[in-house]
Copies of this chain bind each other. A is one copy, B any other.
């Protein structure tokens, strides 16, 4: 999985029928402090994530192994919202609230 920050949304009215009702989020890979610094992907949200949250997303066929995305043409899915990242013994990103 990759650590990423949700920074936006994509609206697409014309799409494969089986994608109806899915939320497409723009996710940018982030560093251990949650600062977006890397590649960008558009991921389907399976856990109720929102803009500004730090998340884990799975890519490839694994992105289809949630109830929402099963058998759908989806290659990136947010499957967890991150509370805490700890690296080299020190707390780094910590979810607020």
Contacts and interface: CB of A to CB of B under 8 A. Distances in A.
Interface of A: 1-3, 7-16, 18-19, 24, 26, 32, 40-43, 46-48, 51, 56, 58-66, 71-77, 79-89, 92
Nearest to A1: B42
A12 B82 contact: yes
A73 B82 contact: no
What number of copies of this chain does the assembly contain? 5
Given A10-B3, A10-B56, A24-B1, A19 B80 contact: yes
A26 B85 contact: yes
Given A16-B47, A65-B73, A83 B11 contact: yes
Contacts of A1: 24, 41-43, 74-76
A85 B48 contact: no
Given A62-B73, A65-B72, 10 more contacts: A1-B74, A1-B75, A11-B85, A15-B56, A16-B47, A19-B79, A19-B80, A58-B75, A59-B75, A60-B75
